[in-house]
Amino acid sequence: MNKICLGAVCAVLGAALPLVASAQSCNVPVLKVLAQKSLGLTVMEKSLPDYQKRTGTRIEISYFGENDRRAKSRLDAATKAGSYQVYYVDEANVAEFASAGWIVPLLKYYPKDADYEDFLPGRRAVASYKDVAYFAPLIGGSDFLFYRRDLLEKAGLPVPRTLDELVADIKKLHSPPSVYGWVARGQRGSGMNVWRWAPFMLAAGGSWTDKNNQPSFNSPAAVKATQLYAELFKYAPPGAATYDWSNALEAFRSGKVAFMIESTPFADWMEDASKSSVADKVGYARPPAPLPSAAYGHGLAISAVGAKDECTRQAAGKFIAFATGKEQEQARLREKVFSDYNRSSTIQSDYFQKNVKPQILAGLKDTTPVSKLTIWPSPQWPDIGDNLGVALEEIFTGTQKDIPGALNDANQYAREAMEHVRK
């Protein structure tokens, strides 16, 4: 009896050995990556020769600007060209690519020892569609309330913790032309004014869709949020209603602005004394309640058409784990790249704690728990968002006075866009 059982066990083990060997040696000669330049990838490229030596896989990366990167990956996938095995994907197009079947669920091919759960919750949220992870984050962030510590201290004001307090303090510290109370993105675009407006809409009780999954961002709550966002431009520098994010940042670090809500990695811009007049004068906190902290993320995904077979997908998953791993994040820190962090272990590491300014560390601890995806995770995004952005810019600049009417039109456009896809 024992001999029979032993024989059966041996037979099972014997059958399993080829599978184990296959999994361990499942490499391809070349993996092609379609990507967008980032400091993290620049650091990672330095270790590619060693990666090729260890795995036998050569990595070829083709870089494009953001718009070209999105267009080229969309074309490669939609036409089934399959020229790339790995795509650089972001929160704005993960829904489109996942719903179309252009990228595959990642965790089946992402090695468990690479510890996907170590990524910050906000990063994992934006890397997912319908609760399925599709990319591993390379860069990302959420929101800080950037505030001038020196101005608040001089005025005897505490850091505003609610939106009502923030609005009141913006008005109190507004003293043009020397200091403006506020600055924000006003320029049209799903990643510009819509990105900043969305937390206000959600905080007011609005939502992107109703219970029937129909667009509903023309609700009374959305109108109220838009009125407030537009009103705050009265306390911003001239022309701010068409500012993009870089204009807003430059206004703040020139010392002309008291408050701004922007992405967390931009704290480094404020603390660069060679370019910022407010270095060591800025505080960082979570956006005042009930505003959520808008999470974003860019990362690497496996192309469904470029990586057609299981072996190639395993090799792609192995590379993605390498490029987004803990060791790579530590390598970035050693290269003084403190903006491209995505993991809890990175923030908790001794190097990060010792080399990042205390006020930024305090802000990260404050904002991380309220970080979430605030844009609409729709396959029709960013088209719907870009159209909404045009309406918002017209409202913010004053060329459109009818806020409910403008939102109704944008909402109807979204309904028609969704209906067109269904046909």
pLDDT of the chain, 423 residues: tens digit per residue: 343 343 443 443 344 434 333 445 676 999 999 999 999 999 999 999 999 999 999 999 999 998 899 999 999 999 999 999 999 999 999 999 999 999 999 999 999 999 999 999 999 999 999 999 999 999 999 999 999 999 999 999 999 999 999 999 999 999 999 999 999 999 999 999 999 999 999 999 999 999 999 999 999 999 999 999 999 999 999 999 999 999 999 999 999 999 999 999 999 999 999 999 999 999 999 999 999 999 999 999 999 999 999 999 999 999 999 999 999 999 999 998 888 899 999 999 999 999 999 999 999 999 999 999 999 999 999 899 999 999 999 999 999 999 999 999 999 999 999 987 776
> Edge-to-edge strands of the sheet including 30-35?
58-63, 30-35, 86-90, 296-302, 136-141
Note the Cα 131 to chain centre separation in Å.
16
pLDDT given for residue 23 in this prediction: 42
Q: Please tell me the predicted confidence (pLDDT) of residue 186.
A: 98
Q: What burial letters (b/e) apply to 241-269, b meaning 16+ CB within 10 Å? A: bbbebebbbbbbbeebbbbbbbbbbbbbb
The separation between the first and the last C-alpha atoms of the chain, rounded to the nearest angstrom, is 64
Which tokens in the block code for residue 276? 């910022």
Report yes or no: 299 and 86 within 8 Å, Cβ to Cβ: no
**DSSP annotation of 368:** G
Strand blocks (E) in 44-103:
58-63, 86-90
Q: What is the pTM of this model?
A: 0.88
For residue 23, which phi and psi values (nearest 5 degrees)? -65, -35
Q: How far apart, in whole angstroms, are the C-alpha atoms of residue 196 and residue 209? A: 18
What was the pLDDT predicted at 420? Answer: 79
Domains and CATH numbers, the chain: 23-139+296-355 (3.40.190.10), 143-295+366-422 (3.40.190.10)
Single-letter amino acid code for the residue at 63: Y
pLDDT computed for residue 13 by the predictor: 38
Q: How far is CA 136 from the centre of its chain?
A: 11
Helix (H) or strand (E) holding 411, with range, is: helix 403-422
